[in-house]
A and B are shown apart, each in its own frame.
Chain A
Amino acid sequence: MKDLYQETLSSVAEVQRHFERHHYICDERIATCVFIAHNLQKPVLVEGPAGVGKTELAKTTAQLLDVPLVRLQCYEGLDEAKALYEWKYAKQLLYTQLLKDKLGELLEGTRGLRESMAKIHAHEDLFYSEDFLEPRPLYRALHEPRGCVLLIDEIDKSDQEFEAFLLEVLSDFQVSIPELGTIVARVKPLVFLTSNNSRELGDALKRRCLHLHIPYPDAALESRILSHRVPELSDRLRTEVVTFVQQLRELDLKKVPSISETIDWARTLLLLHAADLDAGLVKMTLNILLKFETDIEAAGEHVRGFVEKARQRAGA
């Protein structure tokens, strides 16, 4: 069976082409990053504002390499038991109860504690074997026979302890389970970590990763993305949408709309059978682009001007 690294990505341009085939439009920078990460088997730390396609990048890479995507969503309080493995305590208890008689049988004829112990030790440690192990994302990722894309989402939300724990996983792709020993990855997963910068990450972690910052796209790129994601949109409306959103990003807003919002908005306009932007329509659907009441108010006064400019750009 082919594993993840036998899939050949021979050049940056090829990566870009592959991505485009999977409807992920990216610039050279992103493609270079994936190319290097794949070839040197290095984790990638993806930063950037929400909604620019950080998670999507990992998903698309998994599709492209035709391996499963294992996702670990981080949050405050996430610990090893949730991320790596946990023993199935209930099952262990149940089994000890069920097997009580068997234990009695087994120990029949032995004299004294020492002898009984010796007899039990002669059997392998059944209760701490993989049968009683509840695998969590990291464990699963190490166990994938063909490798996988491991997405550790929003690493900045996790605690520093967890970050330190991740270091071992990311540098050697192995983890120690006290009862089982060290588990080494069958095939090193391709790791993407995403961060929204809500906390400064440790230097040790950053050092191990390639750093990729995805900014908001420029008009040309955004237009290409839209044409792939919402192909039904007419050229003219697309230009208008992109021009409008690009202008919106210049304002001082609490949450600037990102690509995902642009796509949602384009879909909405399509649903409403809009052929053209007009101020009324925009005002009505502005809540798809902007998520804060104050932002909507702040943008409200500019809508007319922006729409005007967008229509000019589209040649209306």
Chain B
Amino acid sequence: MQQTLENFYKAVRAAGVAVAPANSIEASRAVALVGYRERGILKHALSMNLAKSHADQLLVEECFEQFFRFDAFRDGARDSAPQGGDDPAASAEAGDKKTSTAEPRYEGELPLAKMLMAGDRTALAVAMQQAARDAGLTDIWFFTQKSLYTQQILQRMGLRELQDEIRALGEGSCPTRIATAGALRTAKDRLYEEVRDFVERQLGMFGKTAVQSLRERHLQKTRLSNIDLRDFRIMHELVRKMARRLSALYSRKRKRADRGQLDFARTLRRNVAHDGVLFETHWKTRFVDKPRVLVLCDVSGSVQAYARFLLLFLHSLNDVLKRIDSYVFTGSLASVNDIFDSYPVAEAIDKIMAEHGFGGSDYGGMLLDLERDCLRGIDHRTTVLILGDARNNNLDPRSHILQQVHQRAKRVIWLNPEPESFWNTGDSVMRNYRPYCHLTKTCNTLDHLERLLDDLLRAATAA
């Protein structure tokens, strides 16, 4: 049974739940405690030990249902009937068998043939499981390995001997023997199908990560504009993961305050050098330094392809960072905090695109709005993040406002979806803005985004 549990853990890991060895040991202990008698309790015991969040819990439970289903062979009769009318087909077949003069009866010694002819489904299932274990089926990784494993399992169950037996039976002229050979042949085909289905199911369980992580890797390297809408969901998760990691790093910074409750022990200790006169005071209270982030995102026509993903990123950041102000703009600045807070991601993005999206961008106008509405709030703790292509449609860039922002803010960062060689071509006014940014970077893949934000947040927390 331990082997079965090990395989189950493997399946759970393949489903994307990180199961540490310690967890699997604990789970095994828990299973030993509750026993196998009650399926529901067993399921709870396993999921409690293996899953570490509600989402994981659902995954583990799904794995459980899949893994511990009874892999018995289907009824032969039902299997041979193509579709519908199981019972008539079965009885017809049974009738055929009875009326035929040469009723196929197997009298040889081959265990597989015996099982097939006796229709012993449980024994077959057990034999298949055993063969699968010997063949190392749980290592299956890609769908291309399907036929390989199917063949290996069949061989281990004794397919070759069975084929020899069928040939031997078919050679004579005795009608009974020929009929037996025929029956065995059908049974063999059915067996083949069973095993193939079984392998397919196992691939679904154990091969999941392979498929998913390949896909994730691919997505990470794809340009944001090329990602299909249907991958949006996966992308969302990726971005969330990233943002959460970043925010953990980000929120850790704390400082000692110089007021509040006196840390008496520490003060005494530190002042031993001053003969016990309390020169240096130490305080208990610390406060978490929470720098503010102000994000401005262009949603105009020129960055239309990227805008959705920039917004997606913004939404995820909004989820994990507490003190973030998100704005979008084409011509004028609009706060989207409320939309992000009150709608799920896809809806929020659609809403923003519908309300503020498209049209030509006017960075000067945006900066004017920024000066009017936000400049007072920008101080040495604020990081200003601008996502846009700086294509200003030949309007006044008003870069002096950005200069002011630059003076007040801790950092100003400009992420441009265009490659650097395109900057300053046509109506791009990157050159006007660039001096007032602490950092300007091209950013059009998730990899870029991740690396950049890592830098950004590290700088924000190090100072």
Binding site for B on A (CB under 8 A): 12, 28-29, 32-33, 35-36, 39-40, 42, 47, 76-77, 79, 81, 87, 89, 159-160, 200, 203, 206-207, 210-213
Contact = CB atoms under 8 A, between A and B. Distances in A.
A237 B285 CA distance: 52
Given A39-B33, A40-B29, A32 B285 contact: no
B288 interface: yes
Contact of A81 (B52, B57, B284, B287): B284
Given A32-B45, A36-B33, A210-B49, A200 B26 contact: no
Interface residues of B, number: 34
A40 B30 contact: yes
Given A76-B288, A77-B285, A206-B52, A32 B44 contact: yes
User: Which 10 pairs between the two chains have the least Cβ-Cβ distance?
Assistant: A206-B52, A32-B44, A213-B54, A89-B264, A210-B48, A29-B44, A36-B30, A32-B41, A39-B33, A12-B41
B424 interface: no
12 contacts: A12-B41, A32-B34, A35-B34, A47-B54, A77-B287, A89-B264, A159-B288, A200-B248, A206-B52, A207-B52, A211-B52, A213-B54
A87 B244 CA distance: 38
A211 B288 CA distance: 29
Interface string B34-50: 10001011001101110
B22 A207 contact: yes
B44 to A, nearest CB: 4
Interface of B: 18, 20, 22-23, 26, 29-30, 33-34, 38, 40-41, 44-45, 47-49, 51-54, 56-57, 244, 248, 252, 254, 264-265, 284-288
Contacts of A200: 244, 248
B41 A28 contact: yes
A102 B264 CA distance: 25
Nearest to A215: B54
Contacts of A207: 20, 22-23, 52
B32 to A, nearest CB: 10
Given A33-B48, A36-B48, A160-B252, A28 B40 contact: yes
A191 to B, nearest CB: 15
Main secondary structure, interface of A, reads helix
A39 to B, nearest CB: 5
Nearest to A36: B30
B70 to A, nearest CB: 22
A160 B47 CA distance: 26
B144 to A, nearest CB: 34
A211 B48 contact: yes
B39 to A, nearest CB: 11
A12 B48 CA distance: 14
Nearest to A48: B54
Contact of B48 (A79, A81, A203, A212): A212
B278 to A, nearest CB: 13
A212 B30 CA distance: 14
A159 B51 CA distance: 23
B379 to A, nearest CB: 23
B16 to A, nearest CB: 14
B285 A28 contact: no
A213 B57 contact: yes
Contacts of A160: 248, 252
Given A32-B41, A40-B29, A200-B244, A89 B22 contact: no
Contacts of B22: 207
A298 to B, nearest CB: 12
Given A32-B44, A160-B248, 15 more contacts: A12-B41, A28-B40, A28-B41, A28-B44, A33-B44, A36-B33, A36-B48, A40-B33, A42-B26, A47-B54, A77-B287, A207-B22, A211-B48, A211-B51, A211-B56
A206 B141 CA distance: 29
Contacts of B48: 29, 32-33, 36, 210-212
Contacts of A87: 265
B52 A36 contact: no
A100 B30 CA distance: 59
Given A12-B41, A33-B44, A39-B33, A203 B288 contact: no
Contacts of B44: 28-29, 32-33
Contacts of B40: 28
A39 B34 CA distance: 10
A211 B57 contact: yes
A132 to B, nearest CB: 12
Contacts of B34: 12, 32, 35-36
Query: Which residue, A29, A42, A79, has most C-beta atoms of chain B within 10 A?
Result: A29
Contacts of B56: 211
Nearest to A86: B265
